[in-house]
Chain A
Amino acid sequence: MLRFALGSLLAFAGLAQAANELRFTLRSEPKTFNPLMVEDESSETIRYLTGGVLIRLNRYTQELEGELASKWKVLENGRRIDFELRPNVHFSDGTPFSCDDVVFTMERLMDPSLHSPVGDSFRSAPGAVEAKCVSPISASVRFPAPVAALALQFDQVAILSAHSLHKEAAVLGPFMFGDYKPGALLVLERNPNYWKKDSNGRRLPYLDSIRLEIQSNRELELLRFRRGELDVVNKLDPDMFDRLSSEMPHNVVDAGPSLDSELVFFNQVASAPLPAYKLHWFQSAAFRRAISDAIHRDDLVRIVYKGHARAAAGPVSSANKFWLNAALKPALYSEQVALDELQRDGFHRSGDTLMDRDGHRVEFSMITNAGNRVHERMLTLIQQDLGKLGIQLNVLTLDFPSLIERITRTYNYESVLMALTNVGLDPNDQMNVWLSSAQTHQWNPNQKTPETPWEAEIDRLMQAQAASQTAAQRKVSFDKVQQIVADQAPMIFLVNPNALSAVSPNLKNVTPGLLRPQIYWNVDRLYLGSGYVSQK
């Protein structure tokens, strides 16, 4: 009787969770399962785990590697790319993979009626994209104009099936869709037809399944990790990391500075509902540089990030080894340098207060998202730093939708502290920030023509780097962009937070990378404990 009860219990436990199953959380519901329409982080995670791509950026070495394409060649100055495809590859439903699928995917991707955000990065000029089969195992794609970093862009393009009966379910990645309970969980199962094998000839992936629970509460996520109910926690904040590292020192990973930045920018929109004298301060490069010099970045790193961050020198994190302009150094905190700069710009001290040339007291507000302890602490430190110059900084925490409304629609803000999340290494990924015409050129978006000479120069350099075909030429242009950003300080880059994660010691083959997804970038080679041998 007892044996029966135990057996039933174990069977039930087995149903609830497979033995060789990786478990982690998605912070929000995926907005789409269409790999061509991915915009949010959760959907991107699903695409990474299920999608097969022609070329993959190795998140550890930061180099391109052939996946479904065994070879590729960029021709005609980046206007054309030829792929040699791997033979004998099958979709998860058994349909053979061929050049038809590449052509079908490119046609869907570039279909103007689809409005694919992934396709946008290929649209270098108006005109049709021509994708054709050269042979069953080779394909060629030709664009109307050169596309910068053309091969790298294919890292985001999951190949769809042209011939499967259930196209949306047929995938070429290591995992395929299993169970899905909206708002609760998504189970991905091992793709039995995944093309990759290990050095012993064993078909990958090693894991049987991945259980993704939708959980936005970080404390709950951490609690479940502690209880052993989750194997990975990504993007820990410094508090959580330190807490966990004191309890489970072998389960935490600090992979070093990430690509993300914490930054401050001032509202420079001419039509913003701000007093003219304030707009004048914010449009002054000397004022912005002085603010940058007055912020003690090392204290932000030491006190707010507990040492798990690096002072930022500019828009490119030190994690981005190739594109970083190494000549730039983080602004050194100096109250005197900041004050001198302000005095040259017509500001003066009157007692403990800083005044502008017209006698206005220097007082402005800085908004940030409510509930973000890291941002709130940073603001409190900045408040005291600027107070030493005689600047009154008023802190305003807003719920996130209100904050976005202010900085993107009403422009009713003075300055903002926020995070800039970088998902790619290439400068083209930042095009939407630096081009003056861009919607996310945050300090003064949607300019019809560049309003300042230095923004015009940035536009020119960004377009020049996009059109250049050698990486060295592109780097020269992008280095200049970084230098202008450092000189003009339209965005004051403060710190690059480290990529902090928690990983169960039971998860094997983990080699944390700096690029997303840091822990499971090599998901096809991960396994749990003895799960390596338990694959179905």
Chain B
Amino acid sequence: MSRAQKLAIAVLAAVTIASLAAGWIAPSYSAQFRESISAPPSAKFPLGTDELGRDRFARLLYGTRVSLLLAPAAALLSTLIAALLGGTAGYLGGRWDRLVASGIDLFLSLPWLFLLMAVRALMPLNTSPVASVILTFLLLGCLGWASPARIVRAGTRTLASSDYLLQARAEGVAPARLFWNHLLPNLKPILAAQFWISVPVFILSEANLSLLGLGVAEPLPSWGAMLRDLENYSAVLQNPWMLAPAVLLVAVVSCLKLLLRSEDPLPC
């Protein structure tokens, strides 16, 4: 592992720990200090306050918690679905393979944004902000399996026709054992890569949804919701600390990408 990658892990660890300790570092992300709207950084508010007088630093920490914890959860979900469908399709072949391949094509052709908007419109009225954010990432996870599934399927097909698997099959190893003991361990690098690729994708997807006002519900913060403040570019020029969520997003996504370039086994 290179020094840059070690640094990336350190940055990700520091950001994750800070977000988990948000309750101690900056207690309230939703309290409105209405007499201190759009305030500059101070001892009380290290990153100033937003247009409703809320502590930007506290919101950044809590927003990091939301984006950084739920995006990997959504990525894990999508990777698991991809492994299950792509893996079995590639391994079993035949009708199931054709069915899964058609399903992948269908999912890839679906307009995600409209689908998410439709689901959002069907959500129960009294969905709490926490439930709403979990649902959003759950949806992202459920909808994001198609692309990794295609890669897993291709990888499985290659593995299924490999010499060692052919030999195992010739020796009469049971199909289930063949799958769990021989195929899955060899698919691990592909699955890990798909997982780490999906994490930044889901972080950015949530950011995009929030930019449209369809992401995490108020008053819960997320990076995407905070990035909406950057629409007011003249305010950003005057108050550069507003760029903090963008800087953090770029740093985290860059760190994740850096880890993906590793020639060593990925942390999984």
Which A positions have Cβ atoms within 8 angstroms of B?
A: 219, 239, 243, 246-247, 299, 303, 363-365, 367, 370-373, 376-377, 379-381, 383-384, 394-399, 402, 405, 412-414
How far, in whole Å, are A243 and B231 apart by their CA atoms in the complex? 11
Report which of B123, B228, B231 forms a contact with A219, defined as CB distance below 8 A.
B231
How far, in whole Å, are A243 and B236 apart by their CA atoms in the complex? 11
What are 8 A-B residue pairs whose CB atoms fall within 8 Å in the complex?
A: A243-B234, A243-B235, A303-B53, A370-B214, A371-B212, A377-B52, A398-B120, A399-B121
Chain B, residues 144-181, CB within 8 Å of chain A (1/0): the string is: 00000000000000000000000000000000000000
How far, in whole Å, are A111 and B35 apart by their CA atoms in the complex? 58
Kindly specify which of B124-132, B186-194, B199-207 makes contact with the partner chain: B124-132
Number of chain B residues whose Cβ lies closer than 8 Å to a Cβ of chain A: 27
Are A372 and B213 closer than 8 Å at their CB atoms? yes
**B105 at interface (Cβ–Cβ under 8 A)?**
no
Are A397 and B126 closer than 8 Å at their CB atoms? no
Chain B contacts of A370 at CB under 8 A? 212-214
Report which of A243, A303, A363, A402 forms a contact with B52, defined as CB distance below 8 A.
A303
Return the 6 tightest CB-CB contacts between A and B, nearest first. Answer: A402-B121, A370-B213, A365-B125, A371-B213, A380-B218, A397-B213
Report which of A376, A383, A405, A412 forms a contact with B125, defined as CB distance below 8 A.
A412
How far, in whole Å, are A113 and B213 apart by their CA atoms in the complex? 42
How far, in whole Å, are A298 and B127 apart by their CA atoms in the complex? 29
How far, in whole Å, are A405 and B129 apart by their CA atoms in the complex? 23
Minimum C-beta distance from A416 to chain B (A): 11
Are B37 and A303 closer than 8 Å at their CB atoms? yes
**B32 at interface (Cβ–Cβ under 8 A)?**
yes
Are B32 and A376 closer than 8 Å at their CB atoms? no
Q: Which residue of B lies closest to A240 (CB)?
A: B232
How far, in whole Å, are A383 and B219 apart by their CA atoms in the complex? 8
Minimum C-beta distance from B31 to chain A (A): 8
Are B234 and A394 closer than 8 Å at their CB atoms? no
Report which of A373, A384, A396 forms a contact with B32, defined as CB distance below 8 A.
A384
Report which of A381, A394, A414 forms a contact with B129, defined as CB distance below 8 A.
A394
Minimum C-beta distance from A383 to chain B (A): 6
Q: Which residue of B lies closest to A371 (CB)?
A: B213
Q: Which of A247, A376, A394 has the most CB of B within 10 A?
A: A394
Report which of B30, B32, B217, B235 forms a contact with A397, defined as CB distance below 8 A.
B217
**B14 at interface (Cβ–Cβ under 8 A)?**
no
Chain A contacts of B217 at CB under 8 A? 394-397
How far, in whole Å, are A234 and B15 apart by their CA atoms in the complex? 44
Q: Which residue of B lies closest to A274 (CB)?
A: B125
Task: Compute the total of residue contacts between A and B using a CB distance below 8 Å.
Answer: 75
Q: Which of A299, A372, A396 has the most CB of B within 10 A?
A: A396
Chain A contacts of B232 at CB under 8 A? 239, 243
Chain B contacts of A246 at CB under 8 A? 234
Minimum C-beta distance from A385 to chain B (A): 9
Minimum C-beta distance from B113 to chain A (A): 10
Chain A contacts of B30 at CB under 8 A? 384
Chain B contacts of A379 at CB under 8 A? 218
Chain B contacts of A380 at CB under 8 A? 32, 52, 218-219
Minimum C-beta distance from A186 to chain B (A): 29
Known: A303-B51, A303-B53, A381-B52. A396 touches B125 (CB 8 A): yes
Are A396 and B127 closer than 8 Å at their CB atoms? yes
Chain A contacts of B37 at CB under 8 A? 303
Chain B contacts of A239 at CB under 8 A? 232
Minimum C-beta distance from A277 to chain B (A): 13
Minimum C-beta distance from B209 to chain A (A): 10
Known: A239-B232, A371-B213. A364 touches B126 (CB 8 A): yes
Chain B, residues 26-65, CB within 8 Å of chain A (1/0): the string is: 0000101010010000000000000111000000000000
Minimum C-beta distance from A346 to chain B (A): 21
Minimum C-beta distance from A266 to chain B (A): 13
Interface residues of B in 86-129 (CB under 8 A from A): 117, 120-121, 123, 125-129
Are B214 and A397 closer than 8 Å at their CB atoms? yes
Q: Which residue of B lies closest to A239 (CB)?
A: B232
How far, in whole Å, are A377 and B229 apart by their CA atoms in the complex? 12
Minimum C-beta distance from B225 to chain A (A): 10
Are B123 and A396 closer than 8 Å at their CB atoms? yes
Are B125 and A413 closer than 8 Å at their CB atoms? yes
How far, in whole Å, are A184 and B51 apart by their CA atoms in the complex? 35
- Contacts A299-B34, A394-B128, A394-B217 known; list 6 others, CB within 8 Å: A239-B232, A303-B37, A365-B125, A365-B127, A383-B218, A394-B125
Are B125 and A414 closer than 8 Å at their CB atoms? yes
Q: Which residue of B lies closest to A247 (CB)?
A: B234
Chain A contacts of B213 at CB under 8 A? 370-373, 376, 397
How far, in whole Å, are A439 and B210 apart by their CA atoms in the complex? 33
